[in-house]
Amino acid sequence: MKVKGFSHVTIRVSDLNRSLQFYQDCLEMKVVHKGRRDAYLEWGTAWICLVESDILKRTENQAGVDHVAFYIEEENFEDAVNKLIARKVTVARMPVKRGQGMTFNFLDPDGTQLELHTGTLKSRMEVWV
């Protein structure tokens, strides 16, 4: 199997319009398609799909996706964090150095944890021994 790389993430949301407002306004993602119960957004080379559905009540330590991380270059990191904080996103973890990169974790309107990260897999593995 010759997989070329990561394709996308699909995130279940309880209210498509509310989530679209968050992903467009707070994260400045570009809407490529909006359907009745789904939307596709682009952010650099990353893209996500939001799907409106009935969400089961989340419980602590629930199996599934822990968080979705997006790569951002170091020189853009501080500005992005400041913009998100100014827009009053729910912060899950303030900026901290992890591996050789900076990371900032925050929540979308349904509590999905998102992350901005400046490191690469290569830089992570250099210190993850």
The enclosing domain of 87 has a CATH number of 3.10.180.10
- Residue 77 belongs to a domain: yes
Pairing of strands 101-107, 113-117: antiparallel
* Interatomic CA distance for residues 70 and 104, integer angstroms: 10
**Cα-Cα-Cα-Cα dihedral of 114, 76, 123, 2, to 10°?**
60
> Which domain, by its residues, includes 24?
9-54+65-127
Closest CA to 17 of 39, 32, 33: 39
Residue 61 corresponds to which tokens in the numbers above? Answer: 């330590």
Instruction: Per residue of the chain (129 residues), give pLDDT as tens.
Output: 875 777 789 898 989 999 999 999 999 999 999 999 999 999 888 899 999 987 656 666 666 677 899 999 999 999 999 999 999 999 999 999 987 889 999 999 999 999 999 988 888 778 765
Q: Does residue 20 sit within a domain?
A: yes
Structural Rg of the chain based on CA atoms: 15
Whether residue 3 lies inside any domain: the answer is no
In a domain? residue 46: yes
Instruction: Pick the catalytic residue from 28, 75, 78, 115.
Output: 115
Asked if residue 99 belongs to a domain, the reply is yes
Asked whether residue 2 is domain-assigned, the answer is no
Q: Domain for residue 78, yes or no?
A: yes
Active site residue 115: yes
In the chain, the number of structural domains is 1
